[in-house]
Amino acid sequence: MTQATSRIDRRGLSWLLALATLTLVPGCVRVNIQGNPEAWANSMTEPMGAAVPVRVATYNTSLYDEEEGGLVRRLEAGDANARNIAAVLQRVRPDIVLLNEFDYDAAHRAAELFQRRYLEVAQAGGEPLRYAYRYLAPVNTGVPSGLDLDNNGTVGGSGRGRGNDAWGYGLHPGQYGMLVLSRHPIDSDAVRTFQHLRWSAMPGALQPRDPRSGQAWYPPATWSKLRLSSKSHWDVPIRTPGGVVHLLAAHPTPPVFDGPENRNGARNFDEIRLWREYVSGDAQPWLCDDNGRCGGLPASAQFVIVGDYNADPVDGDGMPGAIGQLLDHPRVQATRIPRSAGAVERAAERRLPRNGDTATHTGDFGPKAGTLRLDYVLPSRGLDVVGEGVFWPASSDPDAAIAAASDHHLVWVDFNRIPD
């Protein structure tokens, strides 16, 4: 879904002035505006053709609750973590951002509250931040499968047992959901979602096996129904001033919390592989979205892969090469890696052995797991990257307090569209 709201800021004013001149200058592009014209105009940041970078970000906000409706109640009452998350967003001011671990509710009440009472209100010295468009949809987390997915002999139950038997781990439908916010128009009619795609549909899927017996971990009847995406995979086309960019959003399951069969590690690998296959060309007859349209992304399309992928390139518990499926893909440019001073400082405090560059880490996951690079903004090669970063200030920085609202940190990339 999209939602238009009125927004005017200092950058938006320049676009309004340019829009007003379109009818006065011969040869200018004629703009057809549908929906709310004021919101559409205000969502643009500069006149078309100007070399103004688009900032895309991903942020695992940890804005979830173990009770259904719990996040809504917290946001209504006033939530300190939500204020700090909003403060971070107001500092970085991305044009487009994916929020992971933001609980979904069918009425979109949490998204509305977060936008109106948090983002659009100055936080910790920041300036209000308004997004004219948003996209959110149901996810698999917490949705009962009716199957014994953890092979404990029971279906559902309470607590972790109930969560393990959901299509994606969660204690209620919509827990750990996703939310896209954008200053630029979202083509909602062209959005593709892969919530219901079955894992077994993927050629060569990593079907988990019991290492003791060598037998498949899931019975055939269960394996044939199991969904691949633990939350969902979304292709959200966004009309930026430089052209349409496909925001490819996901949040694969952590490769832990399982057993020797490594079912979560295998699922994490194949959830990441879904995007590898999706951007490898449109001849993918098995890759069918929730509306029955099959195939991948056309070779001419520009994209940005975003999200918490729960996979570090060289450290952590993920399967070897999991995130490398994207980092090494010929259509992905991954050589400019966002870094921060805070990550280096925290990694030194944890004193855990690391093979990778700790400056690139995006979160701290406690004294046992330490710091890792799990969150990614990966543009396609048709986009000209001109800046990047991780909002993880050093402890001496006044902004360190607001950055501690989540165990993950916001990652951003600025890019221009390379002219055809």
What's the pLDDT score for residue 101?
98
| Confidence at 2, pLDDT banded by 50, 70, 90 | very low
| Confidence at 281, pLDDT banded by 50, 70, 90 | confident
What's the pLDDT score for residue 158?
86
Closest CA to 373 of 315, 318, 312: 312
What's the pLDDT score for residue 39?
35
Report whether pLDDT(28) > 80: no
Q: What is the pLDDT of residues 179-195, one digit of tens each?
A: 999 999 999 999 999 99
Instruction: State the average pLDDT over residues 46-63.
Output: 80
Instruction: State the average pLDDT over residues 127-133.
Output: 98
Range list of β-strands (E), 296-369: 302-308, 363-364
CA 315 – CA 255 distance, rounded (Å): 12
Report whether pLDDT(22) > 70: no
What's the pLDDT score for residue 52?
84
Assigned token pair, 214: 């060598």
CA 1 – CA 183 distance, rounded (Å): 15
Parse the chain into domains and list their residue ranges. Answer: 1-50, 53-139+174-417
Report whether pLDDT(417) > 80: no
Q: What is the rounded average pLDDT for all residues in the chain?
A: 89
Report whether pLDDT(41) > 70: no
Q: Which of 43-47, 341-345, 409-413 has the lowest mean pLDDT?
A: 43-47
What's the pLDDT score for residue 50?
52
- Taking the CA atoms of the chain, what radius of gyration do you get in angstroms? 21
For 82, 134, 171, the CA distances from 72, given in Å and listed in that order, are 11, 17, 16
For 84, 149, 198, 213, the CA distances from 219, given in Å and listed in that order, are 45, 10, 15, 14
Neighbouring CB atoms inside 10 A of 317's CB total 17
Q: Which of 58-67, 115-124, 154-163 has the lowest mean pLDDT?
A: 154-163
| Confidence at 51, pLDDT banded by 50, 70, 90 | low
The distance from CA 253 to its chain's CA centroid, rounded to whole angstroms, is: 13
The distance from CA 233 to its chain's CA centroid, rounded to whole angstroms, is: 9
What's the pLDDT score for residue 159?
87
Q: What is the pLDDT of residues 73-127, one digit of tens each?
A: 999 999 999 999 999 999 999 999 999 999 999 999 999 999 999 999 999 999 9
DSSP 24-82: TSTTPPPP---S-HHHHHHH--S-TTS--PEEEEEEEEEE--SSTTHHHHHHHH--HHH
Instruction: State the average pLDDT over residues 344-350.
Output: 97
What's the pLDDT score for residue 45?
38
What's the pLDDT score for residue 418?
64
Instruction: State the average pLDDT over residues 352-357.
Output: 96
Q: What is the pLDDT of residues 365-388, one digit of tens each?
A: 999 999 999 999 999 998 999 999
What's the pLDDT score for residue 419?
58
CATH superfamily of 53-139+174-417: Endonuclease/exonuclease/phosphatase (3.60.10.10)
More confident residue, 50 or 119: 119
CA 169 – CA 163 distance, rounded (Å): 5
CA 221 – CA 148 distance, rounded (Å): 11
Instruction: State the average pLDDT over residues 403-411.
Output: 97
